[in-house]
Amino acid sequence: MSHSPSTRRAAAVAASAVAALALSGTAVQATPPDTTLRAEAPRDLQIGSAVWGQRDLLGHDPQDPTAFQQILAAEFGSLTPENDMKWAEIHPEPDVYDFAGADALMAFAQAHGQEVRGHTLLWHSQNPGWVTEAAATWTCDEARDVLEDHVRTVVGRYAGDIYEWDVANELVQDEWDAGGVRLRTEANPFLAACSDDPVALIGDVFRWTHEEDPESVLFLNDYNAEGVNAKTDAYYALAQELLADGVPLHGFGAQGHLSLQYGFDESIQENFERFADLGLKVAVTEADVRMPLGEDGEPTAEQIALQAERYDKMLQACLEVAACTSFTVWGFDDGRSWVPDVFPEGYATIMTEAYEKKPAYDVLLESLTAATPGRSPRTPPGLNE
């Protein structure tokens, strides 16, 4: 979808000299390759990548783009701030907002005709110290006030320019966690303060977001949420509860962080279809496929082939469900992947550190090229258009 910049955001960005300094100049008119993921995507599906604006966009001369920036602009029609809109970066102190990285990302996207997925407003992780420390003594009203200020400030700044928001991220525990599948009430500082009725607070976060930006499509988002399982059953029930209460919930996102150490859940399309039948959009929001590597740090031929297959299976599920609006990889090159810092695995993205395209890239491009240019013929009953 296409948005015109809002007056509120225009004024906010004008007040930020940092982003203007970084990337608000004329877009570089580089000649793109004959075929790219962005060019071959069906017109109703955005192919995106996560990017860390503070690291990779801020301060770079738009007239002299890096190789990374040229690929980012050519290959992807959608950007997700990997870290720039998380609490720790964008709201580091109680009365301090730092929009530098997020503004740089927004400026880059606008200069290159790209959409932006906002990420994220309510999460148990990557919160600044002042939040985690104060949360121990918060009343529910105090937690609500802090959260509402944050949501309205951040969403309001970019209103009209973010086509999808991951409003609430990783709300539900996995079945193997202590206590099993349930809301992460203890881990999330805001839900913990409002533990008597955490669902009401979740609903209000969606309401505040919608009030500030009525054009954006608002998502629940989580990992281990690709197929039909106990965790997605909990999300399905939560979605039904929120919708019944009139909450402006519009979408469900499966992150798609996979590992070759585990099997692939073939029920991803079935899962997407049941959320679509609730009238929700669906998306693959953070796809990567990691693997354990040998002593030489290199994958085997079998691992490379299986990685490509799993990337493609996630994309195919998206292509087969009309309600799927976006397919986003969590970074496109191994040099910037979060995986080795968190897992004893690697080789998770679709390009090497030197930007060599892997078979995973090739199979995604092939599937996009073969896809119907418009919508899939299946339109789920009650789909929000």
Catalytic residues: 170, 286
Q: Scanning the structure block, which residue is given the tokens 């789920």?
A: 380
Distance CA 304, CA 346 (A): 12
Contact, 109 vs 62, CB < 8 A?
A: no
Cis peptide before 35 (omega within 30 of 0): no
Q: What is the CA radius of gyration of the chain?
A: 20
SS3 content of the chain, % helix, strand, coil (to 5): 40, 15, 45
Instruction: At 69, list the tokens.
Output: 């920036």
Q: With b meaning 16 or more CB within 10 Å and e meaning fewer, what string describes 20-47? A: eebbbeeeeeeeeeeebbbbbbbebbbb
Residues 304/359, Cβ–Cβ less than 8 Å: yes
Residue 62's closest CA among 4, 15, 20, 31?
A: 20
Tokens (6 digits) for 48: 């995106």
**Cβ atoms of 124 and 188 closer than 8 Å:** yes
| CB-CB contact of 65 with 73 (8 Å) | yes
- Nearest Cα to 283, choosing from 235, 319, 243? 319
Report the C-alpha gap between 127 and 136 in whole angstroms: 14
What would the two tokens of residue 293 be? 């590597």
Give the Cα separation of 249 and 164 in Å (integer). 11
